Amino acid sequence: MEKPKKVTTYTLKQMKQAGIKIAMLTAYDYSTARILDEAGIDVILVGDSAANVMAGYETTLPITLDQMIYHAQSVVRAVKRAMVVVDLPFGTYQVNPEEAVRAAIRIMKESGAHAVKLEGGRQVAEAVKRIVDAGIPVMGHLGLTPQSIYQFGTYKVRAKEEEEARRLKEDALLLQDIGIFSLVLEKIPATLGKEVTEMLKIPTIGIGAGKWTDGQVLVIHDMLGITKEFNPRFLRRYANLYDEIFNAVQRYIKDVKDGDFPSDKEQY
Ligand code: KIV
C-alpha cells in the first residue's frame, strides 16, 4: 500500500494559497487519533482541553506538561498522515522564554509531535521567538484564550470592540513576523476572522471565528456529542455519542443481569 503523504507546515501554507480548507480536530488518545488520521484529518491538536474532556477539570489550567506529553505520545503512535500539534500547558511559557523553549523541546523530543501551540500575543512574543529559533514550528492562538479565563471572567465572544480587535490584529501580525506557521482564532466576530485571514500569509484556523478562516477546529468530544451540556452557537454536532454509549451500556447491563450474555456462541 502506498504511504500517505504527510501533512507539514509547507502543506498547510500551500493549502491556504490554493484556497483548500484545513480540517483540524482534537484528540488525546491512540484509538481516537487513529480514526481521525485514517478518515483524512489534516491536523490533530492535542489540546489542553484534555483537562476538561479527559480529566474533568472546569478549566484548562490544571493540566501539566507531563500529562500533555503522555497524551501526545499516545496520539503520535496512531498517526501516519496528519500533522500533530501539542498545546503548551498553562505555566510552561509565561514565566520566561528559557522555560518556554525547554517545555517545547520536551514535547518534541518525548512525544514525537510536529509542532506546539501557545496562547497570547505580544506578552508571549519573546517565548515564541525562542521556540521558533530552536527550529520548532509554533501555532499561535488569539481571541478567546481559555488559559486566561480568570482574567476575562467570561467565555463570551472576544474582540467585539474596536480597541480589542485592533490589538488582536497587531498581535496576529507580530506573531506572523516572529515566524509562527499558523494561527488559531477562537470566538471572535466572523468579519474580524475574515479580516485577519486576508491580512495574513499564514493559515488561520477558526473555532467560533466564522466561515472565512482558512480552516476549522472543534474539540472531538463536542462534535461527536459526548459532551452534552456545552452548546455554543459555533458547535455543530456530527453524532450523538453520549446517547449511543448510554443506550449500549444499558443494554449490556440488562443482558448481564438477565444471564443473556454471554450466549453459548460467546463462550469456549
Ligand atoms: O485545547 C484546545 O482544544 C484548543 C482548541 C479549542 C483550539 O485550544
pLDDT tens digits, one per residue of 126-158: 999 999 999 999 999 999 999 999 999 999 999
**Are 126 and 256 contained in the same domain?**
no
Say if residue 153 is in the same domain as residue 255.
no
Distance CA 127, CA 101 (A): 7
Query: pLDDT grade, residue 89 (50/70/90)?
Result: very high
**Same domain, yes or no: 246 and 233:** no
pLDDT band at 265 (very low <50, low <70, confident <90, very high): very high
Q: pLDDT band for position 201 (50/70/90)? A: very high
Closest residue by Cα to atom 1, ligand 1, is 47
Distance 14 CA to ligand 1 centre (A): 23
Q: What is the whole-number distance in angstroms between the Cα of residue 186 and the centre of ligand 1? A: 9
CA of 1 to the centre of ligand 1 (A): 33
Kindly give, in sequence order, each residue whose CB lies less than 8 Å from that of residue 142, ignoring residues fewer than 6 positions away: 119, 120, 121, 168, 171, 172, 175, 183, 184, 185, 186, 188
In a domain, 3, yes or no: no
Q: How far is the CA of 141 from the centre of ligand 1 (A)?
A: 9
| CA pair distance 209, 109, nearest whole angstrom | 32
Residue-averaged pLDDT of the chain = 97
Residue with the smallest CA separation from ligand 1 atom 2 is 47
Residue 149 lies in a domain: yes
Same domain, 245 and 261: yes
So what's the pLDDT on residue 78? Answer: 98
Looking at ligand 1, which residue's alpha carbon is closest to its atom 8? 47
Active-site residue, 186 included: yes
How much is the pTM?
0.97
Kindly tell me if the per-residue pLDDT of 1 is higher than 70.
no
Query: For residue 146, which atom of ligand 1 is closest to its CA?
Result: 8
Which residue puts its alpha carbon closest to atom 5 of ligand 1?
47
- Domain containing 145: what range? 9-237
Q: At 4, is the pLDDT very low, low, confident or very high (cuts 50, 70, 90)?
A: confident
Residues in the chain: 268
251 and 135, same domain (yes or no): no
Q: Do residues 22 and 45 lie in contact, with contact meaning Cβ atoms separated by under 8 Å?
A: no
Q: What average pLDDT does range 14-33 have in this prediction?
A: 98
156 vs 17: CA distance, rounded Å:
32
Cell of 30: 491512540
Mean pLDDT value of segment 6-14: 98
- In sequence order, the β-bridge partners of residue 186 are 143, 207
Average pLDDT value for residue range 155-171: 97
Contact 26, 47 (CB under 8 A): yes
- Each residue of 214-235: pLDDT tens digit? 999 999 999 999 999 899 999 9
Query: Same domain, yes or no, for 37 and 108?
Result: yes
What is the CB < 6 Å shell around ligand 1?
26, 45, 47-49, 87, 184, 186, 207, 217, 219
Computed over its alpha carbons, how large is the radius of gyration of the chain?
Answer: 20
